[in-house]
Amino acid sequence: MSSSEPLDNDSVPSAPELYPPDEGSWWSDPGDGDPIDDETDVEAEETHRGAFGEYGGEIRGGFLDRAFRERIVVVGMAHSGMDPAVAEASLDELELLVDTAGADVVARIMQRRDRPDRATFVGKGKVDEILETALAHDADTVVFDDELTPAQGFNLEKILGRTALDRTAVILDIFAQHATSTEGKTQVELAQLRYNLPRLRGKKSFSQQAGGIGTRGPGETQLEVDRRRLLRRIHKLERDLKAISGRRENQRKARHRSPYSVVSIVGYTNAGKSTLLRTLTGADVKVEDQLFATVDPTTRKLRLPGGEQILLTDTVGFVKKLPHTLVEAFKSTLEVAAGADLLLHVVDGAGPDPDAHIMAVREVLEGIGAGEVEQLLVFNKMDASEEVKRLVDLNEGSVGISAQTGHGLDDLLRAIGDRLRAGSSVYDLAIPFSRGDVVAALHREGEVLTEYSDADGMRFTARLADDSASRLDDWIVG
């Protein structure tokens, strides 16, 4: 579990301390569904080495250090009216997530069902099949493609005798590994705690309260102690992020007062956003062929062909079924997209389903208040697939590029300039020879169309945004 600072007495202990493996499951009993009675439990192994997520090796400095690569069985469900091919593609993506998290998928199981079972998500027969598959492959953990309720997770662990996780837990685990900044670690830890809170399962010992006259009783259970500690930690992290959000708001206001337009790179995870930022600006950012390699945003200056400079920001990637807890925790980071002048929506043109990825990203953008910001579709990986050209032809105004080789980047820069200049106007300016600082500001903030000198100084015709025009108003003529 990641942390922005050392834990104090009021903070939540680390996972192995709270939930030692020999104490049983940490998934909650109460929740949406009925726990399975002991007499109906399928006989399973009492313990298993599986410990994906918080048990996957030691936790050092907030990052997971796994002693071995776990063996995982992934399970998906094609709901009523759902295209089976879509469900299979989602399960393919879950396999990539598991690999990114540092584990190996040894088997996959798909079930077609009208709706999830209230107690075990999949049907009883399918649970038996999952158990047989896990035993046959000596699997450590079973990961489900949809989010499990606390009761479903608890029931499945009782039957399977091994950890039962869902897609949300895997994504949170990946974020915990990749977060490096104080803000990123704080956001990830908050998302983890919000996810774990309803899944706490208490020990059977009683403590903390001796009881007094009129209040004697069994005392406070360990579950209540753990829940209170988690809530304290959650409230502290929320206060920390609120302070960070305030600083980001001040930074956004400062950017709007600055002469630079803000362009944010958004898109599905592993679409090539960080590669594009590095190729355009030379930024030293982490680039890996992995999902969610970028968690912390990076901003660099970029000069467009017209001479004006912009601020280009790389953001965290999106994914289908992105956990709500993660969106809430990363709101201060994601708001950079809502405050941008233009969004570069990067799409993996060689991916399995670009249209579904575009829709998934737009849904998240709507959720964070960035749905109205103008988007420029950028189809990446022209060097890997002929499909990119077809996608560009189908989507008017889009651009096809290869962030890896640099092909098409000149067209992209011109398109960015055209989109940003669409809301600008053309002005004539007269600047004395002595005001070289104003001339430099003009070149920095706008696109100079013509320039010449006369006896009084320099004459310019330039395209300027409204903010820039107001700053240079003293020199505008006509």
Flag whether 197 is in a domain. Answer: no
d(CA 261, CA 376): 15
Q: Under 8 Å CB-to-CB from 348, ≥6 apart: which residues?
A: 267, 268, 270, 271, 272, 354, 357, 380, 381
Encode pLDDT of 29-47 as tens digits.
Answer: 334 444 444 444 444 444 4
Pick the last residue of a domain from 386, 404, 421: 421
Flag whether 20 is in a domain. Answer: yes
Say if residue 165's pLDDT is above 70: yes
Q: Are residues 23 and 141 in the same domain?
A: yes
Q: Are 285 and 273 in contact (CB under 8 A)?
A: no
Structural domain that includes position 457 = 425-477
d(CA 275, CA 156): 41
Q: Are residues 278 and 160 in the same domain?
A: no
Q: Are 202 and 226 in contact (CB under 8 A)?
A: yes
Pairing of strands 206-207, 220-221: antiparallel
Q: Are residues 314 and 394 in the same domain?
A: yes
Encode pLDDT of 174-199 as tens digits.
Answer: 888 877 777 778 888 888 888 888 88
- Per-residue pLDDT, averaged over 196-207, amounts to 63
Say if residue 161's pLDDT is above 80: yes
pTM for the full predicted model: 0.67
Question: Chain centroid to CA 387: how far?
Answer: 27
Flag whether 402 is in a domain. Answer: yes
| Residue in the block written with tokens 């009523």 | 80
82 pLDDT band, cuts 50/70/90, is confident
d(CA 173, CA 295): 12
**How much of the chain exceeds pLDDT 90, in percent?**
26
Tally of domains within the chain: 3
| Structure-model confidence comparison of residues 91 and 368, the more confident one | 91
**How much of the chain exceeds pLDDT 70, in percent?**
75
Encode pLDDT of 297-321 as tens digits.
Answer: 788 889 888 777 888 988 877 887 7
Q: Are residues 86 and 129 in the same domain?
A: yes
Flag whether 239 is in a domain. Answer: no
Say if residue 219's pLDDT is above 80: no
Q: Are residues 343 and 472 in the same domain?
A: no
d(CA 121, CA 399): 43
| Structure-model confidence comparison of residues 339 and 146, the more confident one | 146
Pick the last residue of a domain from 373, 388, 421: 421
Question: Chain centroid to CA 438: how far?
Answer: 41
Q: Are residues 156 and 77 in the same domain?
A: yes
Q: Are residues 288 and 180 in the same domain?
A: no
- What are residue 288's phi and psi, to 5 degrees? -140, 150
Task: Give me the pLDDT at residue 213, please.
Answer: 44
Q: Are residues 390 and 406 in the same domain?
A: yes
Q: Are residues 403 and 444 in the same domain?
A: no
Flag whether 235 is in a domain. Answer: no
- Per-residue pLDDT, averaged over 355-366, amounts to 88
DSSP-assigned states of every residue in 437-473: HHHHHHHHHSEEEEEEEETTEEEEEEEE-HHHHHHTG
Q: What is the CATH number of the domain that holds 440?
A: 3.30.70
> Which H or E element spans position 13?
none
Say if residue 419's pLDDT is above 50: yes
Distances (CA, A) of 275 to 242, 247, 297, 306, 406: 31, 28, 13, 23, 10
Q: Are residues 36 and 113 in the same domain?
A: yes
Q: Are residues 391 and 438 in the same domain?
A: no
User: Mutual orientation of helices 182-196 and 167-178 as an angle, nearest 10°?
Assistant: 160
Flag whether 249 is in a domain. Answer: no
- Per-residue pLDDT, averaged over 416-440, amounts to 87
Flag whether 128 is in a domain. Answer: yes
Pick the last residue of a domain from 380, 403, 421: 421
Q: Are residues 296 and 442 in the same domain?
A: no
Q: What is the CATH number of the domain that holds 386?
A: 3.40.50.300
Task: Give me the pLDDT at residue 57, please.
Answer: 35
Task: Give me the pLDDT at residue 409, please.
Answer: 94
Sign for the pseudo-dihedral over CA of 347, 351, 354, 356: negative
Flag whether 273 is in a domain. Answer: yes
Q: What is the CATH number of the domain that holds 98?
A: 3.40.50.11060
d(CA 72, CA 323): 21
Class of residue 410 by CB neighbours under 10 A (exposed 0-12, middle 13-18, buried 19+): exposed
